[in-house]
Amino acid sequence: MGHLTYDASKSIATKTILILAVITIFEVLMALLGKGYIINGFHLPHILVGSLMILMSAIKAYLIIYEFMHMKYEVPGLVKTVLLPTMLLVWAVIAFLAEGNYWNNLRGNVKNIVKTEEISTPVHSDK
């Protein structure tokens, strides 16, 4: 672990906190602007706002992990043992969401087929 003086450590922590605050304020402004709360009638595409939120959240997570959890001072082997499972977890979440979306779409198609068959099937009465 690196040996920093108290003042140097305090300076780095202050800079990191200010960067996190600026990113958070920008996130809030983008969310409010994207939904039309700041300028009436002005909306941003959801994919753009969502992508920006994910990107800024990842940057904030990086700063928090590497500065406040002291990961930048650790040996590379330890950093890799933390990052690899995290990357696998992100991959798993994306894969499960894609799989769930596939099954949801498949289920919707089956419901549409059943409704179409119910409408097209004549009803017979014994009277």
26 CB contacts (<8 Å, ≥6 apart)?
56
Q: Is the dihedral of CA 100, 103, 107, 112 positive or negative?
A: positive
Measured in degrees and rounded to the nearest 5, phi and psi for residue 44 equal -100, 150
25 CB contacts (<8 Å, ≥6 apart)?
none
pLDDT of residue 72: 85
The residue ranges of the chain whose pLDDT is under 70 are: 1-2, 111-127
The structure's pTM equals 0.67
Q: Which residue in 19, 38, 18 sits closest to 28, CA to CA?
A: 38
pLDDT of residue 107: 81
**Domain boundaries in the chain?**
1-74, 75-121
41 DSSP assignment: T
pLDDT of residue 122: 60
pLDDT of residue 12: 93
pLDDT of residue 120: 62
pLDDT of residue 127: 56
Q: What is the C-alpha separation between 71 and 78, in angstroms, rounded?
A: 8
pLDDT of residue 73: 83
